[in-house]
């Protein structure tokens, strides 16, 4: 069964450093998402991406965050200058279409900022 | 604005007993509702979803959920749980037809099945 794949599975970075989390969505999907889950808390929406542009973003997704689809298969989340509070599990997800369609999640990238 | 409430943070239950995990939502428009399961150190896997039609939906692993519009609830049930059902369960809502595709998740319910 097709799946969303994410790399790295775990990354430790120093505060202030830039981090890029990578994702390969399911190949025929058109909508892409990033969610995050701080340890012990709920899963929170960060951003959705469609047709090579951001379609929606949350208040968490500030100027420190950016997303990109650099080629036909990858979808990346960049955090420019990491803060301690960015430590979380980051989930990439994709769906065939928008509202009502099942979103398929990757296994997550665990980011630890020290 | 949408919100999802999962009243129980943890639910312990003995193996082969029935279980119900509660989920209530608030939204001013029509909604789509989902239950996801997260096993330890894994991602989120869809259990079942309600989009329209029959209010009783069946999902994988013997789970089912009932959409109750008047009570704004979407409780998850299983008649007989197994040790392997031990996991975190998340309820999520998405607004229908509004042009927004994001899910709003509840805080999760940790189901612990006891031998």
pLDDT for the residue B30: 78
The string of pLDDT tens digits covering residues B8-61 is: 999 999 999 999 999 999 877 778 899 999 998 788 899 999 988 899 999 999
Whether B44 contacts A91, CB under 8 Å: yes
Question: What does R_g of chain A's alpha carbons equal in angstroms?
Answer: 13
Query: Which residues, 6+ apart, have CB-to-CB distance to B70 below 8 Å?
Result: none
Rounded to whole angstroms, how far apart are CA atoms A105 and A92? 6
pLDDT for the residue B43: 84
Under DSSP, the state recorded for A102 is P
Q: List chain A residues with CB under 8 Å of B94.
A: 99-100
CB pairs under 8 A between A and B: 62
Whether chain A has a CB inside 8 Å of the CB on B67: the answer is: no
Cβ-based neighbour number of residue A99 at 10 Å: 18
Nearest chain B Cα distance for residue A18, angstroms: 24
Whether A9 contacts A92, CB under 8 Å: no
The string of pLDDT tens digits covering residues B60-77 is: 999 999 999 999 999 999
The answer to whether A55 contacts B106, with C-beta atoms less than 8 Å apart, is no
Q: Which of B20, B38, B19, B46 is nearest to B107 (CA)?
A: B38
Whether A97 contacts A107, CB under 8 Å: no
pLDDT for the residue A70: 87
Nearest chain B Cα distance for residue A98, angstroms: 5
The answer to whether B99 contacts A99, with C-beta atoms less than 8 Å apart, is yes
Residues of A with CB under 8 A from a CB of B: 4, 31, 33, 35, 41-45, 48, 55-56, 58, 91, 95, 98-108
Longest dimension (CA), chain B: 46
pLDDT for the residue B33: 92
Residue of B nearest to A106 (CA): B43
Q: List chain B residues with CB under 8 Å of A105.
A: 36, 43-45
The string of pLDDT tens digits covering residues B82-114 is: 999 999 999 999 876 666 678 889 999 999 999
Whether A57 contacts A77, CB under 8 Å: no
pLDDT band at B2 (very low <50, low <70, confident <90, very high): confident
In chain B, how many H helices and how many E strands?
Answer: 0, 12
Under DSSP, the state recorded for B61 is G
Residues in chain A where the model's pLDDT stays below 70: 99-100
The answer to whether B105 contacts A44, with C-beta atoms less than 8 Å apart, is yes
């Amino acid at each position: 069964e097709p799946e969303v794949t994410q790399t790295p599975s775990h990354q430790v970075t120093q505060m202030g450093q830039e981090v890029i989390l990578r994702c390969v969505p399911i190949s025929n999907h058109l909508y892409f998402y990033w969610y995050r889950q701080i340890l012990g808390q709920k899963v929170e929406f960060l951003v959705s991406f469609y047709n090579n542009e951001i379609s929606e973003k949350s208040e968490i997704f500030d100027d420190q965050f950016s997303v990109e689809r650099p080629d036909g298969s990858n979808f990346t989340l960049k955090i420019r200058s990491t803060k301690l509070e960015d430590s979380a599990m980051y989930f990439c997800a994709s769906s065939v279409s928008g509202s009502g369609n099942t979103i398929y999640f990757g296994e997550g990238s665990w980011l630890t900022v020290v | 604005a949408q919100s999802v409430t999962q009243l129980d943070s943890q639910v312990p239950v003995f193996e082969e007993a029935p279980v119900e995990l509660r989920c209530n939502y608030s939204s001013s428009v029509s909604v789509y509702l989902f239950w996801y399961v997260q096993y330890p150190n894994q991602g989120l896997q869809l259990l079942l979803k309600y989009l329209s039609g029959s209010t009783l939906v069946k999902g994988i692993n013997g789970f089912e959920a009932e959409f109750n519009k008047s009570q704004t609830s979407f409780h998850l049930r299983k008649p007989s749980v197994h040790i392997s059902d031990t996991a975190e369960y998340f309820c999520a809502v998405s607004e229908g037809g509004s042009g927004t595709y994001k899910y709003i998740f509840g805080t999760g319910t940790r189901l612990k099945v006891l031998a």
